Structure 1
Amino acid sequence: MEFSEHKNIFLQIGDWVYEQILDGRLQPGDKLPSVRELAVELEVNRNTAMRTYQVLEKQGVLENKRGIGFYVSDTAPKVILNRQKKEFFAEELPLLIQKVKLLKLTSEDLQELILTIQQNDYEN
């Protein structure tokens, strides 16, 4: 995994865990690697790996079964989707709307784009 300088590493690892859960590679109830294993696998400090797990536990994405390890919570997919939707609406959508206005895109342009995306999704 390559890390960006523009975001804390523990948050980037959290995003990586989010992706694994949302695309089904990790399912509710699955055990995650130990803190040590994760740190070795991603070549990060153990404290960074632990901080990631603690943040994800606080968010309700992971459950810590003391002495056993961290597991994906039953509500993790829903929690992640809700968090990412809020983030999209607060951070990305305003930029997208600004770009739409700048490019003077019409509602017809956007509807056509949405139809194209839906057709591509249907074909795949």
Structure 2
Amino acid sequence: MDFNNNKAIYLQIAEHVCEHILLGSWKPEEKIPSVRDMAVNVEVNPNTVARTYELLQQKGIIYNKRGVGFFLSLDAIQQVQHYRKTIFIDEELPQLFKNIYLLNIGLDDITRMYQAFIEQNFKK
């Protein structure tokens, strides 16, 4: 996994886990990789993954079955959407709006580019 220097690694791993959930490669109530396995997969210290899993537990996205491992919550998709939407609205959207304004990009242009993006990346 390639990490961005502008954001804490444990938060980037949380985004990685959330993407697996939103894309459907990990299903609700399904066991997810152990802390050690995830640490090996993303090439970080297990303590970093443990911090990620602690955050995701606090957000209601995963839960721990003691002695068995971590599992996605039944409503993991909704919890991820809420968590990621909050981050997007609070942190990313203001910068996006600023750039749209400064670059004089019209809403029609945004709509057209968004539709093209969806067609290219998510419709098969």
Give the alignment's TM-score, normalised by structure 1.
Answer: 0.84
Q: Note the residue ranges of structure 2 that are not aligned, 5 or more in a row.
A: none
Q: Name whichever of 55-64 and 1-10 sits farther off.
A: 1-10
Q: State the AA in 2 paired with 1:63.
A: Y
Query: Is the alpha carbon distance of 1:38 and 1:55 closer, same or farther for their aligned partners in structure 2, counting shifts above 3 Å?
Result: same
Q: Distance in 1 between matches of 2:65 and 2:92?
A: 35
Q: Name whichever of 35-44 and 15-24 sits farther off.
A: 35-44
Secondary structure in 2 aligned to 1:41? Answer: helix
Q: Distance in 2 between matches of 1:90 and 1:112?
A: 24
Query: Is the alpha carbon distance of 1:117 and 1:21 closer, same or farther for their aligned partners in structure 2, counting shifts above 3 Å?
Result: same
Secondary structure in 1 aligned to 2:3? Answer: coil
Q: Distance in 2 between matches of 1:96 and 1:51?
A: 29
Query: Is the alpha carbon distance of 1:97 and 1:27 closer, same or farther for their aligned partners in structure 2, counting shifts above 3 Å?
Result: same
Query: Is the alpha carbon distance of 1:104 and 1:70 closer, same or farther for their aligned partners in structure 2, counting shifts above 3 Å?
Result: same
Is contact 2:14–2:52 with CA below 8 Å preserved after alignment? Answer: yes
> Equivalent residue for 1:111?
108
Q: Note the residue ranges of structure 1 that are not aligned, 5 or more in a row.
A: none
> Equivalent residue for 2:57?
57
Q: CA deviation at 1:122?
A: 5.8
Query: Is the alpha carbon distance of 1:68 and 1:115 closer, same or farther for their aligned partners in structure 2, counting shifts above 3 Å?
Result: same
Q: Name whichever of 45-54 and 114-123 sits farther off.
A: 114-123
Alignment of 1:33-112 (within 5 A): 33-105=33-105, 109-112=106-109
Q: CA deviation at 1:34?
A: 1.4
* Greater Rg by CA: 1
> Equivalent residue for 1:31?
31
Give the alignment's TM-score, normalised by structure 2.
Answer: 0.84
Q: Name whichever of 89-98 and 64-73 sits farther off.
A: 89-98
Is contact 2:14–2:56 with CA below 8 Å preserved after alignment? Answer: yes
Give the % identical residues: 40
